[in-house]
Amino acid sequence: MLSRITPSFREKVWGSTGLAPWFPVPEKKTGEVWFDSDGRLPLIKFLFTTERLSVQVHPNDEFARAHENSNGKTEMWHILRASPAARVAIGFREPVSPEIVKRSALDGTIEGLLNWLPVRPGDTFFVPAGAVHAIGAGIALCEIQQRSDVTYRLYDYGRPRELHLDKAMQVSFWGPAPGRSALPVRCPYFNTERFQVNGTHLVPAVAHTSALIILHGEGLVGEEPYLPGEVLEVDPGVAVPIRGTGTFIRTFTP
């Protein structure tokens, strides 16, 4: 059985009104569009940036459960659109000490320590809990993550928001991170794959509730029309016929 997951739109200071072709033009700058299925799936988001996001880190499960009554947060990003100069940062260029990172977060030089990577549509990045990271301006991406919203900010470009340096120092690791990856991505929290359709395609069943994320294209899923930006929940054991064209991501919690 298939069902559409209703999106939730989140206004952000760094967001955008350029959400097409995935969503209608909003009145206010939208940074995140959430698709949440109440625990049956990883949390799915679309992110749209016109400014840089904070330099931040997420805790692992053990720390988050002990201190935040929450899961930790491991995530991945799949780039949908990027300006020519767009970049993301994951981890540090070389090993550093917590003391250096804390000092650089306070004086604003932390950006120069990070491992900044150019991005283009189709790129995938894996961001494990503990990896200090940042998303730059001019990017649209699809994020797959653990169901958690625990974020510790180290640096926020002078915006008047709280920093969380003490906790960030306890959960971060101080060297390079995996960074650029490739689909499929498999980890304890989500399995994610991408596929193309041009004509007819049968998505094989899996033994878990899964999500089909439509990135591009149009056609029919079963007997229902699909468009970019839609996310469909698929029951366990259900194979899904698709007729049309487009790019899809399937993800599920293993």
87, 153, 194, 250: the catalytic one is 153
Strand-pair partners of 124: 78, 181
Residue 179 burial (C-beta neighbours within 10 Å; 0-12, 13-18, 19+): middle
**CB-based contact 70:148 (threshold 8 Å):** yes
Whole-angstrom CA distances from 28 to 20, 25, 34 are 14, 9, 16
Q: Residues 6 or more apart from 237 whose CB is under 8 A from it?
A: 205, 206, 207
153 catalytic residue (yes or no): yes
Residue carrying the six token digits 């932390």: 110
DSSP 111-153: GGGEEEEE--TT-EEEE-TT--EEE-SSEEEEEEE-S----EE
- Reduced to 3 states (helix: H, G, I; strand: E, B; else coil), residue 2 is strand
Residue 42 has which token pair?
A: 């990883």
Q: How far apart are CA 77 and CA 75, in angstroms?
A: 7
Catalytic residue numbers read 153
